[in-house]
Amino acid sequence: MKGKRIILEMLREYEVKHVFGLPGETSISLYTEWLNFPEIKHILTRDERSACFMADGYAKVSFKPGICEAPSVGATHIIPGIAEAYKSSTPIIAFTTDVPLNTERKNMLTGFEQTPLFDSITKDSLTALSASDLPFIIRRAFRLATTGRPGPVHVRIPMSVLEKDATNTDLRAQREFSKYPGHRPCAEVREIERALDLLLKSEKPLIICGQGVLFSQAWKEVETFAEMLGIPVGTTISGKGSFSERHPLSIGVIGNRGGTPLSNKVVEEADVIFFIGCNTDYVATDGWTLPSVDSDKKLIHLDISEIEVSNNYITDVVLIGDAKSSLKVMIDILRTKEKHFNDYTKNPRVLSLIKSFKEYSESLKEISKLQGNKRLNPLSIIEVMNETLEEDYIAAIDPGTSAIYTSAFFKVKKAGRKTLFNFSLGALGYAIPASIGAYYARPDIPILALTGDGSLGFTLGELETIVRNNVNVKIFLFRNDSFGWIKATMKLIYESQSFSTEFKSIEYYKIAEAFGIESYKVDGVKEFKLLLEKCLKKKAPCFIELDVPSEDELVPPVPSWIRKAQDKGLNYVV
């Protein structure tokens, strides 16, 4: 059996249904064999970078490894997606083909040293030196991608290996690693007892959920645990959805990408913080000031990764294990201590927080009326989404205006994976390809892509991918004719005039229309609400262009920016 067939046979054994990528000279042999495997759908993309972001969106929504592939020179293009997946712990298997083994030092067209490029941003970078290597390598790739701290694995296949026959073929798959988590290790019971002791003695405990809760699918356990002890729950931007934001115990997102003064104040006032599946990064902790590294707060940290627990803070209790399995044990132990249950509906602290957050929500209605240069206030757009969207949907969101307002003000009604952010690295051009990947994972629910004109410039070609495949995604373009985040940082933090951040004003909805997408430009909030309701009923892609102020005209809720805006007398949303 030739190498090219072994690859596809193994993918079939692992129940792979979708692969994202595009062909090149080094992968033609593989593509000719693909004709015999119609059950493995190949989604042709217009850029390898997009293929990797599609695999990312697919992995996050399907709870299976996302699979992407690229020809040799295309390996350089998938790096942004692989780096994001590595930092965010997203399981992706990236196959790249390469020049023949005997030409690696002969200046063969498109050939270069791939392995060093991937070594630092994958769990492993594997090369098949023969067709017989492929089953072992593919089994290893699936096992590594889905266990421990999930992440990307790179598989390099020289084109000469594709055409070689295997001398020894073992096509068995380890099906338990066709999804994630492939294995659920539990934290030590002794340390769990110590953590519970701290929480039971605490007067102002707080739970902070990161994206690890979503990867572990532990949102039900988080809710049960929080209700048993009456503990408020916040999430990071990437962990949004770990806890219903309509639940009385929810404080919403914390940190500097979606945290509000009210939610961040709860973090400041807590005496015990329980981090779950959170890597305590710069964004979640507002530069390690929330809490401060020299704080006297008691800290508990549960994470699958021994690298992340206690990495940025000296932690009182370290729990290394899967969030779901470890929380189940914590809940079982708590049930033996019924006298310690805390009825949060009668807890004075919780009741006070509920009152404060309700008053804050009411105040936002007035703030949403603020405009900048007669453009739509992004907050008013998010309020329409809150009113219109049901419980089940997926929204992929690009950095910038679309991300900060969604993180802070959009309310996830039902816990689970609802929003896709790429805030481990924050590269532009994520939302549209990620939404395509999400669609192939869940074609039965509404899929949204919230993007900006800065991001759209990276991914316009994928509008053709959407039309060709009739991908039912609704694209909302937050247009401000600039790299608004950089522009605002220059003005507010560096106190400089902006430089090289603004674009020519373009009517992007006409471009989307030229691709064949039903497209609109919206001038008012009421019009947007009507269009959103109309588009959600359609079984076809739609594009809605929304003119919004740049971040320096109407300052979004970034703590350091708000302080500057207050000093300068600028309009801001907080």
pLDDT digits (tens, 9 = 90+) for 382-399: 999 999 999 999 999 999
Q: pLDDT tens across 539-556, in order?
A: 999 999 999 999 999 999
| DSSP-derived 3-state class of residue 385 | helix
Residue 112 has what pLDDT? Answer: 86
Instruction: Evaluate whether residue 234 is within a structural domain.
Output: yes
In angstroms, rounded to a whole number, what is the distance separating the alpha carbons of residues 68 and 52? 6
Instruction: Evaluate whether residue 391 is within a structural domain.
Output: yes
| DSSP-derived 3-state class of residue 457 | helix
Instruction: Evaluate whether residue 363 is within a structural domain.
Output: no
| 246 lies in the same domain as 332 | yes
Q: pLDDT tens across 226-268, in order?
A: 999 999 999 999 999 999 999 999 999 999 999 999 999 999 9
Task: Count CB neighbours of 352 within 10 A.
Answer: 10
Q: Is the pLDDT of residue 372 over 60?
A: no
Amino acid at 417: R
| 35 lies in the same domain as 72 | yes
| 167 lies in the same domain as 39 | yes
Q: Is the pLDDT of residue 373 over 60?
A: no
Given the structure tokens 């090149």, which residue do they identify?
Answer: 24
CA-closest candidate to residue 396, choices 377, 410, 380, 383: 410
| 47 lies in the same domain as 136 | yes
| 335 lies in the same domain as 441 | no
343 CB-contact burial (10 Å; exposed 0-12 / middle 13-18 / buried 19+) = exposed
Q: Give the confidence band of 224 by pLDDT, cuts at 50, 70, 90.
A: very high
Average pLDDT, the chain: 95
Q: pLDDT tens across 287-302, in order?
A: 999 999 999 999 999 9
Bridge pairing between strands 394-397 and 419-420: parallel
In angstroms, rounded to a whole number, what is the distance separating the alpha carbons of residues 86 and 55? 13
Q: pLDDT tens across 446-471, in order?
A: 999 999 999 999 999 999 999 999 99
Q: pLDDT tens across 493-503, in order?
A: 999 998 999 99
Residue range 474-488: mean pLDDT, rounded: 96
In angstroms, rounded to a whole number, what is the distance separating the alpha carbons of residues 222 and 225? 5
In angstroms, rounded to a whole number, what is the distance separating the alpha carbons of residues 142 and 174? 8
Residue range 147-162: mean pLDDT, rounded: 97
The secondary element (H helix, E strand) that includes residue 547 is strand 542-547
Q: pLDDT tens across 306-340, in order?
A: 999 999 999 999 999 999 999 999 999 999 986 65
Residue 109 has what pLDDT? Answer: 75
Q: Which residue has the higher pLDDT, 435 or 102?
A: 435
The sheet with strand 419-420 has its strands ordered as 419-420, 394-397, 447-452, 473-479, 542-547, 518-522
Q: Which two tokens stand for residue 422?
A: 């790429």
Last residue of a domain, one of 139, 155, 177: 177
Instruction: Evaluate whether residue 476 is within a structural domain.
Output: yes
Residue 375 has what pLDDT? Answer: 85
Q: Indicate which CATH number applies to the domain containing 325.
A: 3.40.50.1220
Q: Which two tokens stand for residue 485?
A: 């985040």
Sign (positive or negative) of CA dihedral 285, 289, 293, 296: negative
Instruction: Evaluate whether residue 412 is within a structural domain.
Output: yes
Residue 148 has what pLDDT? Answer: 95
Residue 369 has what pLDDT? Answer: 66
> Residue 534: which residues within 8 A CB-CB, separation 6 or more?
none
The sheet with strand 317-320 has its strands ordered as 250-253, 233-235, 205-209, 272-276, 298-303, 317-320
User: pLDDT > 70: what percent of the chain?
Assistant: 98
| 56 lies in the same domain as 171 | yes
Given the structure tokens 């039309």, which residue do they identify?
Answer: 467
Q: Which domain holds residue 429?
A: 368-568
> Residue 325: which residues within 8 A CB-CB, separation 6 or more?
184, 185, 186
Task: Count CB neighbours of 399 within 10 A.
Answer: 23
Q: Is the pLDDT of residue 371 over 60?
A: no
Residue range 86-97: mean pLDDT, rounded: 98
H helical segments located in 114-243:
114-119, 134-146, 159-163, 189-201, 211-216, 219-229
Amino acid at 53: F
Least confident of 104-118, 169-183, 481-495, 540-554: 104-118
| 159 lies in the same domain as 222 | no
Residue 342 has what pLDDT? Answer: 72
51 CB-contact burial (10 Å; exposed 0-12 / middle 13-18 / buried 19+) = buried
Q: pLDDT tens across 177-213, in order?
A: 999 999 999 999 999 999 999 999 999 999 999 999 9
| 230 lies in the same domain as 299 | yes
- Cβ 84 vs Cβ 424: under 8 Å: yes
Please count the structural domains in the chain: 3
Instruction: Evaluate whether residue 400 is within a structural domain.
Output: yes
Residue 344 has what pLDDT? Answer: 85
Last residue of a domain, one of 141, 157, 177: 177
In angstroms, rounded to a whole number, what is the distance separating the alpha carbons of residues 514 and 404? 30
| 132 lies in the same domain as 12 | yes
| 263 lies in the same domain as 212 | yes
Please give the C-alpha separations between residue 213 and each of 99, 293, 303, in angstroms, as whole numbers. Answer: 41, 23, 9
Q: What is the DSSP string of 255-318?
A: SSSS--HHHHHHHHH-SEEEEES----TTTTTTTBTTBTT---EEEEEES-TTTTTSSS--SEE
| 330 lies in the same domain as 403 | no
Residue range 68-74: mean pLDDT, rounded: 96
Residue 516 has what pLDDT? Answer: 98
Instruction: Evaluate whether residue 242 is within a structural domain.
Output: yes
Q: What is the DSSP string of 461-527?
A: THHHHHHHTT--EEEEEEE-SB-HHHHHHHHHTS-----S-B-----HHHHHHHHT-EEEEE-SHHH
| 147 lies in the same domain as 209 | no
| DSSP-derived 3-state class of residue 229 | helix
Q: Indicate which CATH number applies to the domain containing 530.
A: 3.40.50.970
Last residue of a domain, one of 177, 205, 236: 177
User: pLDDT > 90: what percent of the chain?
Assistant: 90
Q: Is the pLDDT of residue 17 over 80?
A: yes
Q: Give the confidence band of 532 by pLDDT, cuts at 50, 70, 90.
A: very high
CA-closest candidate to residue 163, choices 37, 4, 316, 47: 4
Residue range 411-422: mean pLDDT, rounded: 98
What are the counts of helices (DSSP H) followed by strands (DSSP E) for the chain? 22, 18
Residue range 122-132: mean pLDDT, rounded: 97
Bridge pairing between strands 447-452 and 473-479: parallel
Q: Give the confidence band of 169 by pLDDT, cuts at 50, 70, 90.
A: confident
Q: Give the confidence band of 116 by pLDDT, cuts at 50, 70, 90.
A: very high
Instruction: Evaluate whether residue 64 is within a structural domain.
Output: yes
